[in-house]
Amino acid sequence: MNTEEKSDSPLKQKLRNVIFGTETPEGKRFDIILMICIVLSVVLIFIDTIEHINEQYGQLISIAEWSFTVLFTVEYILRLYCSLNRLHYARSFFGVVDLVSILPSYLGLIFPGANVALALRVLRLFRVFRVLKLLRYLSDGHLLLKAMVQSSRKVFMFFFSVSLIIMVLSVIMYVVEGPNNGFTSIPKSMYWTVVTITTVGYGDITPQTPLGQGIAALTMLIGYSIIAIPTGILTAEISHEMVRTRDLRKCSNCGKKGHDNDAEYCNHCGSELEKL
Amino acid sequence: MNTEEKSDSPLKQKLRNVIFGTETPEGKRFDIILMICIVLSVVLIFIDTIEHINEQYGQLISIAEWSFTVLFTVEYILRLYCSLNRLHYARSFFGVVDLVSILPSYLGLIFPGANVALALRVLRLFRVFRVLKLLRYLSDGHLLLKAMVQSSRKVFMFFFSVSLIIMVLSVIMYVVEGPNNGFTSIPKSMYWTVVTITTVGYGDITPQTPLGQGIAALTMLIGYSIIAIPTGILTAEISHEMVRTRDLRKCSNCGKKGHDNDAEYCNHCGSELEKL
Amino acid sequence: MNTEEKSDSPLKQKLRNVIFGTETPEGKRFDIILMICIVLSVVLIFIDTIEHINEQYGQLISIAEWSFTVLFTVEYILRLYCSLNRLHYARSFFGVVDLVSILPSYLGLIFPGANVALALRVLRLFRVFRVLKLLRYLSDGHLLLKAMVQSSRKVFMFFFSVSLIIMVLSVIMYVVEGPNNGFTSIPKSMYWTVVTITTVGYGDITPQTPLGQGIAALTMLIGYSIIAIPTGILTAEISHEMVRTRDLRKCSNCGKKGHDNDAEYCNHCGSELEKL
Amino acid sequence: MNTEEKSDSPLKQKLRNVIFGTETPEGKRFDIILMICIVLSVVLIFIDTIEHINEQYGQLISIAEWSFTVLFTVEYILRLYCSLNRLHYARSFFGVVDLVSILPSYLGLIFPGANVALALRVLRLFRVFRVLKLLRYLSDGHLLLKAMVQSSRKVFMFFFSVSLIIMVLSVIMYVVEGPNNGFTSIPKSMYWTVVTITTVGYGDITPQTPLGQGIAALTMLIGYSIIAIPTGILTAEISHEMVRTRDLRKCSNCGKKGHDNDAEYCNHCGSELEKL
């Protein structure tokens, strides 16, 4: 990269360090300020949907909205300008997110109308995903992701069997309770079964017949016990991952392995360990 | 098996490869198409119970239903025809499922009537279990099953004590709250206790008296803490199973054991490992 | 014991083998029959509380009740008669349970009256605890109990901090929501907090103010995350217990340790292992 | 400390042993009595909010309140008097707690008025935190705390992604269900999403449209499965901590490590082990 940077104007390099840099102090400062702006803009969109707030501060919020939109537009242009490979950035996940999250406001001008506004509100939400940039400062995500990928097949197996159980139970409940007790259709009965087996239990649909209540109780106990399976799978994977990562930390001096993730010095020869 | 196959007509062998084969490409293709048909037919049965859909598209759905039934009938006959041991297939789990899942439609012609239709809807659901054939493509199920069998006795122990707790609590609540507050009988009170201890909490029956609410709070905390026990049991078993399966993976070249489930090459001598 | 048995009449010995014996076939048979009687008698008491059943079959049930009571009385007398140490049995847990579970019916004759009947119904429930005798046939309970005792202090720690959190949250919610929104008093607010933090969520009391709903959401997320702690503690203990019990299984021939709980032969020398 | 103590009056030393001592019998006795007083005073504040109790026993309670307040005041003064370093105690966590928990009653005299009383009720609650002094008698808290600190970053990661999921889902539900079905605003929709994803499920807001119910079912299954993640993380950490603490227990005689937390004698040489 250094070689390429040489070919750039010093301004561009400065900008790149500020905007894309995550190690340099000004890079960090920029990220933090940007994060605050994103969170603020999202909060604005959210509270703007509260009626009496919209009535009172509608004007202020829309002004703030626009200033944020302009800000993010400028940021996007600068990113495009100072990125080493513009197409690559424009196509990257964050590049798309950055673009999609500023478009709505402008689209709102071209196509006015309430029904459009609704759709745009969803698009605007993409701004939230910019917060993902915070992830750059977190390493543990990798371990979790690894564990989840490792256990994904087992978890799929689990959800496959759960959905079979749900289907069977919902048909039984539909037959037992019938449309008069709220189980108007099998899909509705499936909704009830999911609400019950996940132990959410809204209570908007509840079994009325003694037999139905018995089956419901059974359903709950099933849900109560199978909740253990994904936990078991993931826990086993995570602890395995943790042991492995710990083994990966090898002291460069004495070669001792198996240091804790938070260990800074080798507990055998005392020489410093490289960060995870 | 090869010896027996020789005595078959080439058509029969071809068919067998397509219908029963899971390794051959055409076998895979056949399974996938079949799966889609099954899922579609099940979805049809389910949405058919939604009134306004039944009113509008009732005709179409019943036509589709019939075509699926014919399709599955043909499949069943072909399976019977080309299976090496017909009686064995006819008696096998999937053989019975295949038969039971096509019968209802025909029974519907012989015995018409709404009350029959209801019973048939349940039988038709058997079609769902054909999806279980997918399991042939998943290996992790074995590990899970092993762990669950291993922990079954402990889990039974757990449910035995839980049911005792439920019985005691439901009698206490029945005495404390009484019929006027919805606890009309001990079985009903047991229903409430299960709803509470599994943290489902419909809210269709809730304690009204301060004492009742106190006991309810206690019940919740009990449920909250004992939810940990099955998880603990299963997790311990699964992680133990995982370690064991990992130990089973032995490099055929250098004999090193303890390879990860996703490892493809021996991390000691680099020779390829056989798949799990 | 044999020495003492000699001094007994052969009938007494025979009886003892039947009633107290758990290994002898007739002992097992007796236990199973007794179990069925106990379960039936408990079921009777339970369904007797369902009004329309009580109205229709009240006579039958009370007759059945009495016959069970007589049966259990005879059993109790026989146990007293043939036990080696009568006082010891009479004072033992099951001795007391046996007595307390037959008394109510007789007390019902001496002190008639509805208010007494209610109290007696609870006492009668003691019959349930006789089912605990089944535990004699289960060994895994020991491991679970060990793990729970091991982790009891940690779990107490946990519930201590949880109750602190509950107290703080319930006061805050009481102040925020106030009596008008159902939080009529701090104890009631505590009831709501427990309902929420254990993810039961009846919905009989729900926050109405935006601030209250915000705090409620926070409460749920707290409950959602701290649910992990007891699970973590217990899982760690159980898996530790399992490893230890596995280490305890030592081959009597080659001395190899660490056999699985379900292993029947030593995987090192092939000689049979003693059961757990 | 002994050196300083010499400079103290014997009374002061005696007092210090009683008030601050945790090993001496009178120190323990003092702590237990104090604990009972604290718990009683808190219970008083709580039940005092129940209307009919307040009406009947308001007088008694306020008297009891005042006697407790005086008692705690005396205790606070004594603590100040006999502490080796007064400023240090006054600034310590418990010092502040002790002060803040007695102030409200006095403030109530200076500034009367209902609106003040409410605020004071919250402050009075600080008395609860004095119960934390019990922690001095528990050691396992340390292990738990360690594990939680260890896993804090991973758990933060988890809550970060969960909050993202919540935001996305709540916007979708707001668009799908709309204000007419109770999803009056995105914040309200977020409240619903939290209620659903944590499997609390009050049922005060429930999806009405089929599409909404489908998304809700999805939300529940998500919540049902991600509940496994924090459990997995914490369990892995706790079991790792347990193994480590076990390794820390080293026999002073033969040097064997890896003794259980409840082991009292070295299982290798039989010499006594120091308590954890």
Greatest CA separation for chain B: 80
CA distance B130 to A167: 13
User: What was the pLDDT predicted at D227?
Assistant: 79
DSSP string, D43-87: HHHHHTTSHHHHHHHHHHHHHHHHHHHHHHHHHHHHHHHH-SSHH
Residues in chain B with CB shorter than 8 Å from the CB of A162 are none
Higher pLDDT, C2 or C232: C232
pLDDT grade, residue A3 (50/70/90)? Answer: very low
Instruction: Say how many CA atoms lie within 13 Å of C270 toward its Cβ.
Output: 0
Give the closest of D50, D203, D235 to B203, CB-based.
Answer: D203
User: What was the pLDDT predicted at B216?
Assistant: 94
Give the closest of A49, A134, A187 to D174, CB-based.
Answer: A49
Residue A1: pLDDT over 50: no
Whether A133 contacts chain D with CB within 8 A: no
Whether B227 contacts chain A with CB within 8 A: yes
Q: How far does A231 lie from chain B, in Å, by closest CA?
A: 7
Inter-chain contact A50–D187, Cβ cutoff 8 Å? Answer: yes
A87's CB contacts (< 8 A; 6+ apart) are none
Residue C259: pLDDT over 80: no
Task: Name the CA dihedral angle for C214, C217, C221, C222, rounded to a multiple of 10 degrees.
Answer: 70
Q: Which of A97-101, A184-188, C14-18, D3-7 has the highest mean pLDDT?
A: A184-188
Inter-chain contact A122–D175, Cβ cutoff 8 Å? Answer: yes
Instruction: Say how many CA atoms lie within 13 Å of B149 toward its Cβ.
Output: 8
Give the closest of B128, B191, B242 to A236, CB-based.
Answer: B242
Encoded tokens for B142? 């074995």
In this prediction, what percent of chain D has a pLDDT beyond 90?
Answer: 15
Residues in chain B with CB shorter than 8 Å from the CB of D213 are none
Residue D26: pLDDT over 80: yes
Between positions 193 and 222 of B, the ones with CB within 8 A of D are 199-203, 210
Between positions 34 and 73 of A, the ones with CB within 8 A of D are 42, 45-47, 49-51
Query: In terms of C-beta density within 10 A (0-12 exposed, 13-18 middle, 19 or more buried), how is residue A158 classed?
Result: buried
User: What was the pLDDT predicted at D205?
Assistant: 92
Question: Model ipTM?
Answer: 0.81
Interface probe, candidates D46, D204, D235, D239, chain B, greatest B C-beta count within 10 A: D235
User: What was the pLDDT predicted at D149?
Assistant: 79
C35-45 residue pLDDT tens: 888 888 888 88
Give the closest of C128, C129, C235 to B235, CB-based.
Answer: C235
Residues in chain A with CB shorter than 8 Å from the CB of D160 are 134
Q: How far does C19 lie from chain B, in Å, by closest CA?
A: 23
Inter-chain contact A191–D201, Cβ cutoff 8 Å? Answer: no
Inter-chain contact D46–C202, Cβ cutoff 8 Å? Answer: no
Between A117-131, B145-159, D17-31, the lowest mean confidence (pLDDT) is in A117-131
User: What was the pLDDT predicted at C242?
Assistant: 76
Inter-chain contact C121–B175, Cβ cutoff 8 Å? Answer: yes
Encoded tokens for B216? 């309810």
Residues in chain D with CB shorter than 8 Å from the CB of C158 are 144
Q: What is the rounded average pLDDT of the residues C122-136? A: 66
Higher pLDDT, A268 or D84: D84
Q: Which one, of A131, C217, A234, lies nearest residue D154 by Cα? A: A234
Which residue from D minimizes the CA distance to A126? D168
Residues in chain B with CB shorter than 8 Å from the CB of C143 are 154
Residues in chain D with CB shorter than 8 Å from the CB of B235 are 235
Find out whether D55 and D49 touch, Cβ atoms under 8 Å: no
In this prediction, what percent of chain A has a pLDDT beyond 90?
Answer: 15
C137-156 residue pLDDT tens: 555 666 777 777 777 777 77
Distance of CA C94 to the CA centre of its chain: 14
Give the closest of A171, A185, A232 to B234, CB-based.
Answer: A232
Give the other-Cβ count within 10 Å of A26's Cβ. 12
Buried b (16+ CB within 10 A) or exposed e, A40-62: ebbebbbbbbbeeeeeebeeebe
A37's CB contacts (< 8 A; 6+ apart) are A68, A71, A72
A146-157 residue pLDDT tens: 777 777 777 777
Give the closest of C42, C129, C191 to B217, CB-based.
Answer: C191
Inter-chain contact D203–B199, Cβ cutoff 8 Å? Answer: no
User: What was the pLDDT predicted at C250?
Assistant: 66
CB-defined contacts C:D, below 8 A: 127
Higher pLDDT, A158 or B177: B177
Inter-chain contact C198–B220, Cβ cutoff 8 Å? Answer: yes
Local mean pLDDT, 10-residue blocks, chain B (276 residues): 57 82 79 84 85 88 88 89 85 83 80 63 67 60 73 77 86 87 90 93 92 93 83 83 70 67 65 63
Q: Which of A186-195, B98-107, B222-231, C96-105 has the highest mean pLDDT?
A: A186-195
Distance of CA B182 to the CA centre of its chain: 35
CA distance D139 to C154: 9
Residue C234: pLDDT over 60: yes
Residue C73: pLDDT over 70: yes
Instruction: Say how many CA atoms lie within 13 Å of C111 toward its Cβ.
Output: 10
Whether A230 contacts chain C with CB within 8 A: no
pTM of the model: 0.84
Give the closest of A199, A203, A235 to C203, CB-based.
Answer: A203
